[in-house]
Amino acid sequence: MIDCIEPIKTLSKYIKNYFIVETDNSIDYLPEERVYPCGYATMVFHYGSPSKFQKKNSSKYIEPNLVLCGQQTNYYDLSLSGKTGMIIIVFRPHGVKSFFNFPVTELLNENLFLQDLANNEANELEDKLFNSPNNKQRIIHLENFLIKRLNHSDDFERVEHAIKIIENCKGQIKAQDIAHDVCLGIKQFERTFSKYVGVNPKKFASIIRLQNVIQMKSTNKKSMFQLAYDNGYYDQSHFIHDFKSLTGLTPKAFFIDKK
């Protein structure tokens, strides 16, 4: 079961949605799924059995009960527990910075135990979540925790606008052009963007472009050549290189696996 829930209005500028994922199987872990970059940081609470992760070139490990996951530029493999119960907070690309007072670049490709970042607050939150009778109450506790930490800053709207430009262009735009649009020099724009999003604008655009390729392929039968052309890749080798760097698979292997 997967449910998608919208955040309250106060948090909607910072949080895209919540996902509730539940499984009820007799086996310990479900088959591995490849997870590739999506452009969002997340916070995950496991009220069932935690999942098993394997990052690129790393060993498998069991995720903590309450964890903050930064922007990803690498793929990883995920095995859900047969008895999964979890709430996933999906932040908007620049949203997580508004709740945690440290450089979000330090979260890049990291899944950090929330206790290491918020200590006593995290312990109190975890107790409340485990003692809640249902997910509606858990989400109330999560939202209260985030509202207390909310800290809006001056460059938020500027970065928000830059993200909308990249998303509207489906990743096919140069950082210099965005910098001009938001009235910043290129170096200052790259620093400001990375400060809020956790990756530089060029890498974020490549992730958005990957997402668009996958979406286009899922809704029509375009050839790999047409997909590369429509998404602004210089040639097939450029397309394959970028795709494989983010997913670990060639486009052909990736889409065969999705059938």
Q: Which of 164-169's residues contact partners 24+ apart within 8 Å by CB, and which partners?
A: 166/201, 166/204, 166/205, 166/208, 167/208, 169/205
H or E element at residue 246: helix 236-247
* Full-model pTM: 0.92
Q: What pLDDT, on a 0 to 100 scale, did the predictor assign at position 220?
A: 80
User: 246: which 2 tokens?
Assistant: 């983010």
Q: What pLDDT, on a 0 to 100 scale, did the predictor assign at position 140?
A: 97
- Which residues are CB-neighbours of 191 under 8 A, at least 6 positions away? none
Full pLDDT tens readout for the chain, 259 residues: 899 999 999 999 999 999 999 999 999 999 999 999 999 999 999 999 999 999 888 889 998 899 999 999 999 999 999 999 999 999 999 999 999 888 899 999 999 999 888 888 999 999 999 999 999 999 999 999 999 999 877 789 999 999 999 999 999 999 999 999 999 999 999 999 999 999 999 999 999 999 999 999 888 878 888 988 999 998 899 999 999 999 999 999 998 766 5
Q: What is the 3-state secondary structure (H, E, C) of 76-123?
A: EEEECECCCEEEEEEECCCCHHHCCCCCHHHHCCCEEECHHHHCHHHH
| Torsion angle, alpha carbons of 168, 207, 152, 44, to 10 | 130
Q: What domains can be seen in the chain, in order of their start residue?
A: 2-149 (2.60.120.10), 156-258 (1.10.10.60)
